[in-house]
Structure 1
Amino acid sequence: MASLKSWIKAARLRTLPLALASVAMGGMVAATHPRFNLKAVVMAAVTTLFLQILSNLANDYGDSRSGIDNEKRVGPKRTVQTGEITAQSMKKAVILFSALSLISGLLLIFWAADLSFKTSAIFVLLGLAAIIAAIKYTVGKNPYGYIGLGDLFVFLFFGLLGVGGTWFLATKSWDPLILLPATAMGLLSAGVLNLNNMRDFVNDRQNGKNTLVVKIGLRAAFVYHCIIVLLPFVLLGAYVLFSGVNPRVLLFLIFLPVFVVDLVKIKNSFGGALLDPFLRKLAVKTLLMTLFFGILLNL
């Protein structure tokens, strides 16, 4: 039987701050709305955590079974690949967290958010799509993570759905301006995946995992990375200006030099294991910036 330590490793807890950041952004922007529903935000956070852990477990299973992750892997070793957890046990864990994600999502839609039948049906479909996407990144026939579509799906689910969906569920209303912070969070989330793929570039290319980085090369991937990490500051600044909130919220820009410093360090740590620490740094700093932005917004 696999140890608790192995399961914690497979769950990859260091990815959870990024998952929470999108819900935090949607929730803290929604908190300025007169019809704010905190219960919906809390349930959205729980559902998001289940989905992220599901994705991590499925990724461990899928990459190990396909042979993409092997002894040459640069990043953290997969538990199925090392034999710490059997493939059968991991498959059961994927099913368990699929069920937990579904139950939590249904509670969010029908209990916490209390939506109309038509709107509920739409969100049930979106929830099912999120569960399928979490699994299909590396599992099954033609997983989309192997054909360079990972960035797009991360942008959609961590950005547009994560932020925009949380906003809607917490306010039962829609404001097109929410697309600005939603796009910002989607890009930053894609930035973490891009760093992951830059780190794994050599092994992925050798094993036929055609991530976006493999398709465009490391140098172009770094330029792309700079764009998707810096553009969110422009988008969040635009939200502050166009939404009419207090200009003090622009103080979030004090985080910009922190992100720029990391970009310089990444340029000097091109490829391989040297990039690994920057994944956690980007995820944590994204969450911290989001919380700071939200606090300023609600003062």
Structure 2
Amino acid sequence: MTTAEQWLQGARPKTLYAAIAPVLVGTAFAGYNASLLHFLLALSVSLSLQIGVNYANDYSDGVKGTDNDRLGPIRLVASGLAKPNTVRSAAFLSFALAAISGLLLSYRTSWVLIPIGLISIAAAWGYTAGSKPYGYMGFGEVSVF
């Protein structure tokens, strides 16, 4: 059975700064209009998407065998610590948490966040999963911008 520590390491905590920084910057730009609730919801969306894409990457690289000889942080599927379907479910759960937080945020701010959120979830899954993952075609870094 996969331990909580292994799941935490599988979420790749060192990558989470990339999810936190834009929310902090956006909140700073909001200035006196900033809301603690909006900040927390945006942070939940961002962190959930980052964790979801990390688990999706672990899942898809594991089933494709691209992480078999990998050095570095643990990969749950490639190392045999977790079953592929379990890691895929963790990715979908993370995306669901992002969607719930995003819907709450859009309810309190603007409906325009809904299509942005849907595109974000599709992009997160499509990075290394799906039939033509764009992360394997050299578009991963470009898509971030």
TM-score normalized with structure 1 length: 0.47
Kindly indicate whether residue 77 of structure 2 is the aligned counterpart of residue 80 of structure 1: yes
What is the identity, as a one-letter code, of the residue corresponding to 1:133? A
Distance in 1 of aligned mates of 2:114 and 2:137? 27
Q: Superposed, which structure 2 residues align to 1:3-14 within 5 Å?
A: 3-14=3-14
Kindly indicate whether residue 67 of structure 2 is the aligned counterpart of residue 96 of structure 1: no
TM-score normalized with structure 2 length: 0.93
Distance in 2 of aligned mates of 1:67 and 1:35? 48
Distance in 1 of aligned mates of 2:64 and 2:49? 22
Distance in 2 of aligned mates of 1:7 and 1:106? 26
Distance in 1 of aligned mates of 2:88 and 2:34? 38
Deviation, 1:44, is: 0.5
What is the identity, as a one-letter code, of the residue corresponding to 1:154? V
Contact 2:55 2:91 in 1 (8 A): yes
Give the equivalent residue in structure 2 for 1:50.
48
Cα deviation per residue 1:111-168 (whole Å; 9 max; x = unaligned)?
Answer: 3x2x3xxxx0x3111101111111111111110100011112222xxxxxxxxxxxxx
Kindly indicate whether residue 34 of structure 2 is the aligned counterpart of residue 36 of structure 1: yes
Runs of 4+ in 1 over 4 A off after TM superposition: none
Deviation, 1:37, is: 3.1
Give the equivalent residue in structure 2 for 1:132.
122
Give the equivalent residue in structure 1 for 2:24.
24
Distance in 2 of aligned mates of 1:37 and 1:96? 26
Give the equivalent residue in structure 2 for 1:151.
141
What is the identity, as a one-letter code, of the residue corresponding to 1:41? F
Cα deviation per residue 1:237-296 (whole Å; 9 max; x = unaligned)?
Answer: xxxxxxxxxxxxxxxxxxxxxxxxxxxxxxxxxxxxxxxxxxxxxxxxxxxxxxxxxxxx
Contact 2:134 2:140 in 1 (8 A): yes
Contact 1:10 1:78 in 2 (8 A): yes
Which has the larger helix fraction? 1
What is the identity, as a one-letter code, of the residue corresponding to 1:139? A
Deviation, 1:59, is: 0.7
What is the identity, as a one-letter code, of the residue corresponding to 1:82? S
Distance in 2 of aligned mates of 1:148 and 1:100? 28
Distance in 1 of aligned mates of 2:25 and 2:33? 17
Deviation, 1:92, is: 1.4
**Larger of the two Rg values belongs to structure:** 1
Equivalent residues, number = 145
Distance in 1 of aligned mates of 2:119 and 2:48? 14
Contact 1:6 1:85 in 2 (8 A): no
Identity of aligned residues (%): 40
